[in-house]
Amino acid sequence: MALVIAGERSGVGKTTVTLTLLASLCRRDRLVQSFKVGPDYIDPMFHQHVTGRACRNLDPVLTSEAYVQQCFAYHSQLSEYALVEGVMGLFDGISSLAISHTLREGKAPMSFAKDKEQRTNDEGQRTNDKGQITDFASTAHIARLLDLPVVLAIDCSRLSGSVAAIAHGYRSFDPRIKIAGVVLNRVGSDRHLSLLKDSLEPLQLPILGVMRRQDNITIPDRHLGLVPTAELPELNALIDRLADLGDTCFDWQRLLPLLKSEPLSFFASSSLSASFPVRIAVARDRAFNFYYQDNLDLLQQLGAELVFWSPLEDTDIPKDIQGMYFGGGFPEVFAQQLAENSSVRHAVKTAILKGMPTIAECGGLMYLCEQIIDFEGKSWSMAGVLPTSAVMGGRLTLGYRRAVALQDNLLVKANTTVYGHEFHRSHLTLTPTQPLFETFRYDCDENMGCEGWGLPANIYASYVHQHWGENREIPQQFLKECLKVASSKTWI
């Protein structure tokens, strides 16, 4: 048993409700494991800041349905309570067929139309006339996969009696979803609350929490969502206010049994027998902090030592390393500081040109460019490895991708299909002459263009974020290349 916090749509306060629950539980010295549905990086940062435990992403597109179940079962059994924050509205997903994410190495790429003939639906899934699951990767999909009850958060700021129609509709839409109750958010007054309760009473649906409008509880956001935790000096004070709120606004007598984590059976993943005794420099600071914890765990399980460092603050790259990993983040926000740290920019470029295996995802790719041109049109020098510039703009590139490797590269072989997610407001002034991937929308054959830099051959720079949980061959391949550096004693 555990609990899913879902919303009737985006923006209803799922994250606030989740953080309030987590803060109050942790104040009571409860050991709690949190999860986040979807590919998001920032919400899990807030979870981890509160609980002290890495939040785990549950995303069957980036991984698989089986991996979602294994990940939840393994990590939830290590804690007393477990809580899953949903994504968007409860039934908001994508139209897709369940996909086996085994790497298709060495095979000719297949179109979605042909490939889907080899895919199977889960019996009982909600499908359309094409046989596609219509809410794949939604919060409802995850709740069904894990057989968990759902608490529905409802934004009550602009309604009263209509709350019952909303609650009734969500409870009856899919009978397999167990709605355990509702949390009424942004309630304005005692009279407002009375109207809401009167409307809900005929449904006999428990009200598990009432959160009044809170002018002093605001998490700032910007062009890609919430501002990350490392940039919020007043965050601890905010979490304390949330804990105070959580102590009084929830029906804990009903909630605690739902949150209780029970031991679950799961299929243990195959052991990682290969050992790669190498040191990997992982850029982690305010500019670079988008990493899936499972990816970092896999590198360590394979024998790598992770050395965390800051391209913003440090004066050189770490010593005695055999590989570098630049995750996503907000280099555009800190472009001036990154540019002013010329010694690190030069060291990064020198290391790569000498053959250092390097992964650079999204923000990391931008850092390897010649320049970042910010929203105000100002140019800032970056590492200068890639002969292109990253230009910030208003257009948002967003969505899951099916990417087919066009050539052998640092991580995968030619014709291998991988799945990832793009989320950025920058574009490059020049496209690579020999791109890594041809990309498609995840759920159809719509071509999204070619992207990714693999020259020099020891780099992998792409806008597509990947979760390696289902594809351990990827970190293994990376560490094999790093081990070659270690064997050559080039950096020791």
pLDDT tens digits for 390-448? 999 989 999 999 999 999 999 999 999 999 999 999 999 999 999 999 999 987 788 99
Does 107 have pLDDT greater than 50?
no
Q: What is the pLDDT of residue 97?
A: 60
Q: What is the pLDDT of residues 66-98, one digit of tens each?
A: 999 999 999 999 899 999 999 999 999 987 665
Asked if residue 402 lies in contact with residue 441, where contact means CB atoms within 8 angstroms, the answer is yes
pLDDT of residue 19: 97
Give the pLDDT score at 123: 43
> For a pLDDT cut of 70, what percent of the chain falls above it?
89
In terms of C-beta density within 10 A (0-12 exposed, 13-18 middle, 19 or more buried), how is residue 172 classed?
Answer: exposed
Residues 487 and 464: their CA atoms lie apart, in Å, by 30
Q: Give CA–CA dist 54/395, Å, rounded.
A: 31
Give the pLDDT band of residue 102 (cuts 50, 70, 90). Answer: very low
Answer whether 278's CB lies under 8 Å from 19's CB: no
Let me know: does 382 contact 371? Beta carbons within 8 Å: yes
Cis peptide before 456 (omega within 30 of 0): yes
The string of DSSP codes covering 299-327 is HHHTTPEEEEE-TTT-SSPPSS-SEEEE-
Q: What is the DSSP letter of 453?
A: B
pLDDT classification of 329: cutoffs 50, 70, 90? very high
Question: Per the residue annotation, which of 55, 156, 249, 362 is the catalytic one?
Answer: 362
Instruction: Read off the pLDDT of each residue in 355-359 and give the average, rounded to a whole number.
Output: 97
The confidence score (pLDDT) of residue 120 equals 36
- Cα distance between residue 355 and residue 491, in whole Å: 10
Per-residue confidence (pLDDT) for residue 454, from 0 to 100: 95
Look at residue 94 in the predicted model and tell me its pLDDT.
Answer: 86
Looking at the chain, the whole-number percentage of residues with pLDDT higher than 90 is 78
Whole-number Å distance between alpha carbons of 106 and 116:
19
Token pair listed for 220: 């700032």
Q: What is the DSSP string of 335-381?
A: HHHHHH-HHHHHHHHHHHHTT--EEEETHHHHHHEEEEE-TTS-EEE
The predicted model gives 213-241 an average pLDDT of: 86
Secondary element (H or E) of residue 255: helix 252-259
460: helix, strand or coil? strand
Residue with tokens 């006339």: 129
The Cα 73–Cα 382 span in angstroms is 42
User: For residues 330 and 363, is the Cβ–Cβ distance under 8 A?
Assistant: yes
Give the model's confidence band at 110: pLDDT under 50 very low, under 70 low, under 90 confident, else very high. Answer: very low
> Cα dihedral angle (248, 252, 255, 257), rounded to 10 degrees?
160
Taking Cα atoms as reference points, which of 346, 363, 345 lies closest to residue 224?
363
Taking only the tens place, the pLDDT of each residue in 277-301 is 899 999 999 999 999 999 999 999 9
At residue 109 the predicted structure's pLDDT band, cuts being 50, 70 and 90, is: very low
Give the model's pLDDT for residue 125.
Answer: 59
Is residue 432 a contact partner of residue 452, using CB atoms and an 8 Å limit?
A: yes
Q: How confident is the model at residue 481 (pLDDT cuts 50, 70, 90)?
A: very high
Q: What is the pLDDT of residue 133?
A: 67
Helix (H, G, I), strand (E, B) or coil at 160: coil
Question: How many Cβ atoms sit within 10 Å of the Cβ of residue 65?
Answer: 19
Read off the pLDDT of each residue in 249-269 and give the average, rounded to a whole number: 81
Instruction: Show the tokens assigned to 228.
Output: 């990350």
Checking if the pLDDT of 111 tops 80, the result is no
Catalytic: 55?
A: no
Amino acid at 128: N
**What average pLDDT does the chain have?**
90
Residues near 114 by Cβ (< 8 Å), separated by ≥ 6? none
Query: What distance in Å separates the CA atoms of residue 130 and residue 134, rounded to the nearest whole number?
Result: 10
Residue 402 burial by Cβ neighbours in a 10 Å radius (0-12, 13-18, 19+): buried
179-187 and 221-222 beta bridge pairing? unpaired
Distance of CA 378 to the CA centre of its chain: 30
pLDDT number for residue 229: 92
